[in-house]
């Protein structure tokens, strides 16, 4: 393995990070055992990546997921740990290690430098090295290019990551354009970082060279598999500052090609500012002016999970509903929307604020005063309707069953006898496409 020139600059950990490290090494998950066994194999061991960034951010919550970097080859770990080691990517330096009796494993990756990136996605190969400085220099952002030496308990920060963390600044390691050219998905990853607040600041500031590189290298996202795009985009949409990140993406010409050509402010995304796990609601606002098949087409192209597509389509359809004017219509609305009632009312409220919907503010008191139907499940099943009408299985029976359920909800009926009495009064003999249905 190759070495490097010079030693890595190190500094003392802040007190809260020292405490976190003590707790981490004392935890019952076996990390101390794994680290000590690596020491016994002659390796140095560092914590790297997100756990270092997050503990230095000091957000009041301690990171638990850790990644280990080592300076011995994967073969040494596989032999030294025996059955407690799993080869999960030794070609790229990664081995999964477990402690005796532990449930959760740890990933240990040999220090490395990346080979040539030929497709804007991944290196052709990697070269294993023994210098932590070389490994940190290949990373994307300075805030992700820090390490904690578990032997000396010191922070390795060669690129000003801690200073950038304090300043709320996103800055590339080395030349920003080169970092994004290597892996175009880093473009989306930068915006995803910008969608969550930094410590001590309202939002991240992306420095000038990195912002320019984002615009220059965004076209490389076309070569990235849709599943990886969605993996980053879904996390961005769920983040509290998604509106801020999406606005930058629109300004930089990224969102238009990736998702939809609609400015986040024109879609009303500020309404969910600071809220987490609202990605599907944000998508519904962005795609409001699309019909159902168009919504599905946009999301299918991104390989969005079927469950998410179905809910976004449902939200978009509900946002086009006519505001209820009486209690009967409210009961039908509540039944159709189910557990999404409150969030859909928020969405249509946003649309009304944008001038894209009308009448919902007027309907608010009526909706609040009208509870859901007391018996949501259909009181008459197909067999009962067949006995009462003589209808056979088929489309006519299904439509009649839907109509009866609609009337049950609308009129808040709770008795099967009342429903059978209603059936006798309905002109059901000729099936009609205009019969209402839930």
The Cα 66–Cα 57 span in angstroms is 15
Mean pLDDT of the chain: 93
CA gap 301, 254 in Å, rounded: 16
Pairing of strands 126-128, 10-12: unpaired
Bridging pattern class, strands 67-70 and 94-97: unpaired
Residue 7 has pLDDT above 60, yes or no: no
Q: Do 185 and 121 form a contact (C-beta atoms < 8 A)?
A: yes
Mode of pairing for the β-strands spanning 67-70 and 205-206: unpaired
As a whole number of angstroms, the distance between CA 122 and CA 264 comes to 31
Whole-angstrom distance, CA of residue 236 vs CA of residue 241 = 8
Of residues 335 and 115, the one with the higher pLDDT is: 335
> What are the structural domains of the chain?
10-165 (3.30.460.10), 174-314 (1.10.3090.10), 321-369 (no CATH), 373-438 (no CATH)
Bridge-based pairing state of the strands 112-114 and 126-128: antiparallel
pLDDT tens-digit map of 255-273 = 998 999 999 999 999 999 9
pLDDT in tens, 352-407: 999 999 999 999 999 999 999 999 999 999 999 999 999 999 999 999 999 999 99
Mean pLDDT of 418-429: 94
CB 279 within 8 A of CB 234: yes
Query: Sign of the C-alpha dihedral, residues 22, 26, 31, 35?
Result: positive
4 pLDDT above the threshold of 70: no
Task: Give the CA distances from residue 213 to residues 38, 160, 176, 246, 399, in Å, rounded to whole numbers and listed in that order.
Answer: 39, 19, 6, 17, 57
257, 259, 254: which is closest to 180 by C-alpha? Answer: 254
Closest CA to 16 of 64, 66, 58, 52: 58
In this prediction, residue 58 carries a pLDDT of 80
CA dist., res. 305 & res. 230, Å (int): 9
Per-residue pLDDT of 202-227, as tens digits, reads 999 999 999 999 999 999 999 999 99
Q: What percentage of residues in the chain have a pLDDT greater than 70?
A: 95
Strand partners, 127: 113
């Amino acid at each position: 393995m190759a070495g490097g020139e010079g030693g890595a600059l190190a500094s003392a950990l802040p007190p809260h990070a020292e405490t976190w490290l003590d707790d981490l090494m004392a935890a019952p998950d076996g990390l101390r055992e794994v680290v000590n066994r690596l020491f016994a194999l002659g390796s140095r061991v560092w914590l790297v990546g997100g756990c270092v960034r997050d503990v230095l951010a000091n957000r009041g919550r301690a990171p638990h997921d850790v990644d280990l970097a080592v300076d011995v080859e994967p073969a040494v770990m596989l032999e030294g740990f025996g059955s407690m080691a799993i080869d999960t990517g030794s070609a790229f330096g990664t081995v999964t290690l477990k402690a005796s009796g532990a449930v959760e494993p740890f990933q240990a990756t040999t220090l490395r430098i990346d080979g040539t990136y030929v497709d804007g996605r991944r290196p052709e190969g990697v070269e294993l090295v023994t210098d932590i400085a070389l490994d940190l220099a290949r990373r994307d952002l300075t805030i992700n290019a820090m390490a904690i030496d578990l032997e000396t308990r010191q922070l390795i920060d060669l690129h000003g990551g801690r200073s950038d963390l304090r300043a709320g600044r996103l800055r590339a390691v080395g030349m920003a354009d080169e970092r994004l050219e290597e892996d175009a998905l880093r473009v989306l990853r930068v915006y995803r970082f910008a969608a969550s607040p930094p410590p001590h600041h309202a939002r991240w500031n992306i420095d000038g060279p990195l912002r320019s590189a984002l615009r220059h290298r965004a076209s490389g996202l076309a070569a990235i598999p849709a599943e990886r795009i969605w993996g980053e985009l879904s996390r961005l949409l769920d983040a509290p500052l998604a509106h801020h990140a999406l606005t930058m993406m629109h300004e930089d010409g990224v969102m238009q090609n990736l998702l939809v050509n609609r400015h986040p402010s024109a879609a009303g995304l500020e309404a969910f500012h600071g809220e987490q796990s609202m990605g599907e609601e944000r998508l519904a606002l962005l795609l409001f002016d699309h019909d159902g098949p168009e919504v599905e087409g946009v999301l299918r192209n991104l390989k969005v999970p079927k469950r998410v597509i179905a809910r976004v389509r449902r939200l978009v359809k509900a946002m086009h509903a006519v505001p209820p004017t009486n209690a009967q219509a409210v009961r039908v609305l509540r039944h159709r929307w189910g557990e999404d009632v409150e969030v859909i009312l928020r969405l249509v409220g946003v649309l009304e604020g944008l001038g894209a919907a009308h009448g919902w503010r007027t309907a608010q008191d009526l909706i609040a005063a009208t509870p859901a139907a007391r018996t949501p499940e259909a009181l008459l099943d197909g067999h009962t309707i067949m006995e009462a009408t003589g209808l056979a299985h088929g489309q006519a029976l299904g439509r009649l069953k839907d109509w009866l359920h609609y009337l049950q909800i609308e009129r808040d009926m709770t008795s099967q006898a009342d429903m059978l009495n209603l059936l006798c009064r309905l002109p059901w003999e000729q099936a009609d496409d205009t019969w209402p249905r839930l």
